[in-house]
Chain A
């Protein structure tokens, strides 16, 4: 299981890229490794051929959280605990803070990282819906270049991202939200703690008088990958807020979820619960 797996701690990106060029290396880059270790032990098909684990924890700055005037950079190796305890993230991203505070248990949060959560790309990844409503971009590095793309385009399907074998998710960039936004993050699990999300919901709303001037909605664990509903959001911006508007938004999003996923066994429970939650939260935020 683990006995045959080689382990490398790299101190620089160039070292990693050299390593990745060696023939016969089937590698997996890990951060905290909390998902990968379980996957390897379970003989998960995703990790079956892995013979090398690469750890980048010693690369300078890879777990740091920094801010400029316009954006915050979270290193992909930042653990959920460090994000939870960090002043910068607490100042700007309350929904992310709420989400990371509910991942697994304290022991897991002390090891598990935001980069790992994103790259693992589980449908129920708790950090992803808040990152989507905060318009997160991810910074990807390969041996030739560094590029930045929106998180929504990074995620492809369950457990699959656009990241190639010779690429590394280096950091997550979040634009600093403008003021006067209200937000909400909800996680439904089977228990209060140590529970895998059955449903997550992140909402950011801005209103002026009775007009909805901006809205962002993302859901997790109800579609194959966490989803942001851009088109529906845009359609309802600049309308006056009332119950029938909220019902229209909720109904269209539920329809969109069915379009994306088709009917699943869990939907007789999940869909009505999701709709009611979404309605309640928008209502609460727009009072």
Chain B
């Protein structure tokens, strides 16, 4: 196959010629060297591969690269200069929301997607927003507190 896809990757208009189709997860890691995107379960249950597509958190293991033409994709590499995202990151560190770190990029994307959608999210809404991201280290409380503080400081 041969397909030219145009999309916005981390704020940069990008054009790729695809000769072999693959999952967006593999494309981002292998072809774009965006290694924050992790593969956990590969079946849309763990959230380690979460990226932003048109400002929505989605599992990159369940999307074919071809499907993203015309879309706007963000991984955490592309958010590093955004103030709200930096605050979120700092609060993750402050609250000990990062232990082994494998779930962290996906967790940050899910939390950031919530911040984009709602500036005054409740604890319940925070829990729902990260419910598709598994973390086996923290027990979630530090993560929820980190997101909560980011929201409260902004208000």
Which residues of A are interface residues toward B (Cβ below 8 A)? 2-7, 9, 32-34, 37-38, 41, 53, 55, 57, 81, 104-108, 110-111, 193-194
**Interface SS of B by simple majority:** mixed
Interface CB pairs A-B, < 8 A, 25: A3-B22, A5-B1, A7-B67, A33-B62, A33-B67, A34-B44, A34-B62, A37-B23, A37-B61, A53-B64, A81-B56, A104-B45, A105-B131, A106-B128, A107-B47, A107-B58, A107-B62, A107-B110, A107-B132, A108-B44, A108-B59, A110-B58, A111-B58, A193-B131, A193-B132
> Which partner residue on chain B sits nearest A106 by CB separation?
B132
B66 sits at the interface (CB 8 A): yes
How many B residues touch A, CB cutoff 8 Å? 29
Chain B residue numbers with a CB within 8 Å of A105 are 44-45, 47, 131-132
Are A3's CB and B21's CB within 8 A? yes
Q: Knowing A2-B21, A6-B1, A111-B58, say if A106 contacts B64 (CB, 8 Å).
A: no
Chain B residue numbers with a CB within 8 Å of A38 are 43-44, 62
Chain A residue numbers with a CB within 8 Å of B129 are 106
B137 sits at the interface (CB 8 A): no
CB distance from A215 to the nearest CB of B (A): 32
1/0 contact string of B15-41 vs chain A (CB within 8 Å): 000001111000000000000000000
Q: What is the bound-complex CA distance between A193 and B140, given in angstroms?
A: 15
Q: Give 3 nearest A-B pairs by CB, closest first.
A: A105-B132, A7-B66, A3-B20
Chain A residue numbers with a CB within 8 Å of B58 are 107, 110-111
Q: Knowing A41-B42, A106-B131, A194-B131, say if A7 contacts B62 (CB, 8 Å).
A: no
Are B63's CB and A33's CB within 8 A? yes
Are B69's CB and A111's CB within 8 A? no
* Extra inter-chain contacts (17) besides given A2-B22, A4-B1, A7-B66, CB under 8 Å: A2-B64, A3-B21, A7-B67, A34-B44, A37-B61, A37-B62, A37-B64, A38-B62, A53-B66, A57-B67, A104-B44, A105-B131, A106-B57, A106-B128, A107-B110, A111-B59, A194-B45
Q: What is the bound-complex CA distance between A81 and B20, given in angstroms?
A: 30
Q: Knowing A2-B22, A5-B1, A105-B132, say if A110 contacts B62 (CB, 8 Å).
A: no
Q: What is the bound-complex CA distance between A4 and B61, given in angstroms?
A: 18
CB distance from B20 to the nearest CB of A (A): 4
Chain B residue numbers with a CB within 8 Å of A81 are 56
B89 sits at the interface (CB 8 A): no
Chain A residue numbers with a CB within 8 Å of B64 are 2, 5, 7, 33, 37, 53
Q: What is the bound-complex CA distance between A110 and B53, given in angstroms?
A: 9
> Which partner residue on chain A sits nearest B66 by CB separation?
A7
> Which partner residue on chain A sits nearest B127 by CB separation?
A193
Chain A residue numbers with a CB within 8 Å of B23 are 2, 37
Chain B residue numbers with a CB within 8 Å of A9 are 66, 69
Chain B residue numbers with a CB within 8 Å of A7 are 1, 3, 21, 64, 66-67
Are B132's CB and A194's CB within 8 A? yes
B50 sits at the interface (CB 8 A): yes
Q: Knowing A33-B64, A37-B62, say if A110 contacts B21 (CB, 8 Å).
A: no
Are A106's CB and B63's CB within 8 A? no
> Which partner residue on chain B sits nearest A38 by CB separation?
B43
> Which partner residue on chain A sits nearest B3 by CB separation?
A7
Chain A residue numbers with a CB within 8 Å of B22 are 2-3
Chain A residue numbers with a CB within 8 Å of B50 are 107
Are B63's CB and A111's CB within 8 A? yes
